[in-house]
Amino acid sequence: MNVRPISGASVGRDVRRGRRGFRSIRSLPALAGAALLLTVTACGGGGSGAGGGEGKAAANAASTQSQAVVTIAPKDGARSVDTTGALEVSASKGTLTQVVVKDAKGTEIPGRITGGSTWTPSTHLKASTRYTVHAVAQDSAGRTTVQDSSFTTLTPKNTFVGVFTPEDGSTVGVGMPFSLRFTRGITHPEAVEKAIRITTEPKVEVAGHWFGNDRLDFRPEHYWKPGTKVTVELNLDGVEGRPGVYGKQAKTVSFTIGRSQVSVVDAAEHTMKVMRDGKVIRTIPVTTGKRGYDTWNGKMVISEKLRVTRMNGETVGYGGEYDIPDVPHAMRLTTSGTFIHGNYWGGGAFGRYNASHGCVGLRDVRGGNDPDAPAAWFFDHSLVGDVVEVKNSHDRTVSPDNGLNGWNMSWAEWKK
């Protein structure tokens, strides 16, 4: 076998090549480590970057979330809530921009925002009613917070209503007030009066006056202008008229003022001048209260018309002095029993002397079937709400609460 000698140079080259190859092999772990390190670093860097993204997202979310806090009282779902004083919406760390409160029918409850931070209703709430609340507040950066809630008001055990006159749809005289008599005495008059809204066309100021704790009358300063349309909104449902006693009335009443008729009775002259729109259209002989039974002086409003009625002295404190079962053409002037009526038993008193027990008498016939008799004419030409003014009698002026006779008070007294 021939063996070829290996030269030193060749060996050196191969060895060097082998070393280079060895170095290359030794370098693989280092390179792999470096690569792994780079990979880990990249992953770590990527993880750090992703973590920074989540932090940014959280920071961004925090930066877009409003700092305003809305609080609604009563709490959501509350029941038997009081109709007054319980509802309030407030905002902290921000300003209220919108509050909408509605009942089950979608009717919005009026209210106002005070100081930018508190909303309260400007009226009471209805009883036994579910309400929804929608409130929006804004912080200093203009970011909004929205809160929604609902609650139900109490069902009262004790209630009251107002019995009113005149009737809805009626046409009345220029002296007719709108008068309410409550079925329970009122100890919170401001709350009740606030719940009654009166509008007129043409517009005129109308004010209320309390007579005791169960009667409230409304009128303008002077007699109504003929043709005036009056609308009364009785929003008494839920009003606490006295502790534990709530109104249950929600009604609108409208009436119209007819022509102007004011009749002036002169007790000394024994006459009555009937004035229509400021002009005398007829002068009628009358008889008024005799001495000791004098007719009230003052302005009295016709509150009731009866074609025939019974008059008994016992009902007005005069014992058995008279009992007339068929008084014709009677119109009430006072609660205490003063009427202007037909008189068929007066003989020659009309226009000559005073012979009654306090009423104003006009000549009539028994049965009231003579249309030409003065009493029949006056009855047919009068409206509930017309004014009869008596002067020159020996009695004092009628009390404003004795009938619908508040016109005997000055406007300043009325508004006190």
C-alpha angle 22/28/29, rounded to 5°? 115
List all residues 6 or more positions away from 256 whose beta carbon is below 8 Å from its beta carbon.
170, 171, 172, 227, 228, 229, 230
Active site residue 359: yes
Cα separations in angstroms, 260 against 171, 227, 257, 363: 12, 9, 8, 24
Phi, psi dihedral angles at 88 (to 5 degrees): -155, 135
C-alpha torsion 162→166→169→172, nearest 10: -160
Task: Considering the candidates 357, 359, 381, 394, report the single residue annotated as catalytic.
Answer: 359
Tokens, residue 3: 């063996």
What one-character-per-residue DSSP string does 249-291 give?
Answer: -EEEEEEEE-S-EEEEEETTTTEEEEEETTEEEEEEEEE-BPT
Name the amino acid, one letter, at 82. D
Task: Considering the candidates 341, 357, 381, 394, report the single residue annotated as catalytic.
Answer: 341
Q: DSSP letter at 39?
A: H
CB 298 within 8 A of CB 398: yes
Place of tokens 């209503």: 161
- Smallest Cα–Cα separation from 281: which of 304, 254, 260? 260
Cα separations in angstroms, 79 against 99, 133, 135, 154: 21, 14, 20, 7
Active site residue 188: no
Give catalytic residue positions: 341, 359
